[in-house]
Amino acid sequence: MKNLTVKGSQKFMGKEIPVVAGGFGENAKCVSDKTVAEIHKMEVWNIRARITDNIKRFKDGIDYIDMKQRLYQTKTLRSEGAGESHTLELLQSLGYAKQAITQAEHIYFLSERGYAKLIKIMDTDLAWEIHDKLMDEYFQMKEEKKRGTLAGGAKRPALSSVNMMVKNITGTLQKAGVDDLYIAAEVKRIYTDAGYPVNAPLLTDKETMPKLYDCTEMAKELGIYSTGGKHHSQAVGAIIKNLDVPDSEIVKTAFSRNGHEDVTVQYKPSVLESVKVWLEERDYPSKISYTNSKGRLTTYTVSYQEIS
């Protein structure tokens, strides 16, 4: 806690807000629940309640520090009396009244990541607008000087421009029926590529995301080949159409390749299993056919190879 200090103040939305650094890394900025309440024009108890009610979403020491808890800890350890004094002085220098400190159950300080999580919980247009401004004018100010260019020397675009791009792309992907989780993954990629990395983990991150398959990947998994020796994605597509797969098993995702943005269709693992069962029940046929809605029959000749 000794490395958490107040480094003056700055003007933000017509208010003087304290600049607090440390606690979450050397010189990393953080923001107190009192400051958050002031800039969002809310009561501090309301901000604390939002965090406390959703505390399982926040990581102690990474997203937040509970200063009241640190006070209890330093009181318990008498040898840490200096730490208690430092914490009290810090809180009082930020405008916390001594009585308010005594009565509070929690006093939260949020990292940039923790503040972003709080905004997601609040989820109002005004909250997001203030969030964008605070990112631009407070959290990112030091980073802008230190990290003003992207790889290759390109200048990092203004966050407001990236926000507008994200808004437009999100609307397009929603109209295309892309799943919300994968829209979030694409938004995370856009911000990161633009020089504003998003550190919050998503369900779509590799370590937590269930694998999805397109038709080519299914052909590889099942060893389905064309007469030309290539993985036969069209044949897999024909099987899927014969299966009449429900929409709940189909996931539309966004992808970016060589500067081209598009939408691709992928399938959940249960669909791969259904395709495998379909093949087994038919003793792996050499001809796979599909009749479209207009009555046109399309037949694919396939071969099978053992999967190593």
Question: Could you report the per-residue pLDDT of 38-74, keeping only the tens digit for each?
Answer: 999 999 999 999 999 999 999 999 999 999 988 876 5
Count of structural domains within the chain: 3
Mean pLDDT comparison of 16-25, 35-44, 68-77, 156-165, highest-scoring range:
35-44
Position 86 in a domain: yes
Shared domain for 33 and 132, answered yes or no, is yes
Shared domain for 42 and 113, answered yes or no, is yes
Position 169 in a domain: yes
Residue 28 has a pLDDT of 86
Shared domain for 134 and 40, answered yes or no, is yes
Q: Which of 136, 166, 201 is the last residue of a domain?
A: 201
Residue 27 has a pLDDT of 77
Shared domain for 105 and 45, answered yes or no, is yes
- Give the largest CA-CA distance in the chain: 84
Shared domain for 190 and 232, answered yes or no, is no
DSSP 3-state helix, strand, coil percentages of the chain (rounded to 5)?
50, 20, 30
CA 162 remoteness from chain centre: 16
Shared domain for 111 and 10, answered yes or no, is yes
Shared domain for 221 and 174, answered yes or no, is no
Give residue 81's identity as a one-letter amino acid code: G
Shared domain for 15 and 136, answered yes or no, is yes
Q: Is the pLDDT of residue 305 over 80?
A: yes
Q: Calculate mean pLDDT across residues 195-208.
A: 57
Residue 252 has a pLDDT of 74
| Residue indicated by tokens 């965090």 | 51
Looking at the DSSP bridge assignments, the partners of residue 216 are none
Position 206 in a domain: no
Q: Calculate mean pLDDT across residues 179-188.
A: 75
Q: Return d(Cα 30, Cα 161) in angstroms, integer.
A: 24
Give, in order, the Cα–Cα distances in Å from 297 to each of 96, 132, 144, 228, 233: 76, 54, 60, 21, 17
The region of weakest confidence among 73-77, 87-91, 226-230, 267-271 is: 73-77
Q: Return d(Cα 43, Cα 140) in angstroms, integer.
A: 26
Q: Calculate mean pLDDT across residues 221-250.
A: 89
Q: Is the pLDDT of residue 166 over 70?
A: yes
Position 210 in a domain: no
Q: Return d(Cα 19, Cα 139) in angstroms, integer.
A: 9
Q: Supply the range of the domain harboring residue 171.
A: 155-201
Shared domain for 194 and 228, answered yes or no, is no
Q: Tell me the per-residue pLDDT of 90-104, one tens digit each, with 9 for 90 and over.
A: 898 899 998 999 999
Q: Calculate mean pLDDT across residues 129-139.
A: 85
Shared domain for 34 and 80, answered yes or no, is yes
